[in-house]
């Protein structure tokens, strides 16, 4: 059974960099059948797609976040990473990683999510 687990600091100061890792178990992050994505949800609000990465390193980002976001893969550790630069309070959210099936672009497996608060 595929499992995804987000990890990283729960509190980040304004103007600093938010860094999260998604560890995948029960499957390979190097498969050509999937993208690996990041989605966030501010408290009490809806879902926002941040970006996705393919096994070959090709990345796709939300236009509203593109200038501040980097998504990468570490195939040796079976992990995906998310970095968001110059954070503000508006970046406070639950951050999810999820597997995106290439053939149908559906997010079929999700991590449990991790709350990141931006505050001094």
Partner 1 sequence: DIQMTQSPSSVSASVGDRVTITCRASQGISSWLAWYQQKPGQAPKLLIYAASSLESGVPSRFSGSGSGTDFTLTINDLQADDFATYYCQQANIFPLTFGGGTKVDI
| Chain residues in the site for partner 1 (CB under 8 A) | 37, 46-49, 52, 60-63, 96, 98, 104-108, 110-113
Q: Are the C-beta atoms of residues 65 and 71 closer than 8 Å to each other?
A: no
Q: For partner 1, which is the closer residue by CB, 77 or 106?
A: 106
Q: How far is the CB of 84 from partner 1 (least distance, A)?
A: 16
Q: How far is the CB of 75 from partner 1 (least distance, A)?
A: 22
Q: Which residues contact 90 (CB under 8 A, 6 or more apart)?
A: 42, 118
Q: How far is the CB of 26 from partner 1 (least distance, A)?
A: 16
Q: For partner 1, which is the closer residue by CB, 49 or 85?
A: 49
Burial 51-70 (b: 16+ CB within 10 A, else e): bbbebeeeeebeeebeebbb
């Amino acid at each position: 059974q595929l499992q995804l687990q987000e990890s990283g600091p729960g509190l980040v100061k304004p103007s600093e960099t938010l860094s999260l890792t998604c560890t995948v178990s029960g499957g390979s992050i190097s498969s050509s059948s999937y993208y690996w994505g990041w989605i966030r949800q501010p408290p009490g609000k809806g879902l926002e797609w941040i970006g996705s990465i393919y096994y070959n390193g090709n990345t796709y980002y939300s236009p509203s976040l593109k200038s501040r976001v980097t998504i990468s893969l570490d195939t040796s550790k079976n992990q995906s990473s998310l970095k968001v630069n110059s954070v503000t309070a508006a970046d406070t959210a639950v951050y999810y990683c999820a597997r995106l099936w290439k053939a149908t672009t559906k997010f079929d497996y999700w991590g449990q999510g991790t709350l990141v608060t931006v505050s001094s």
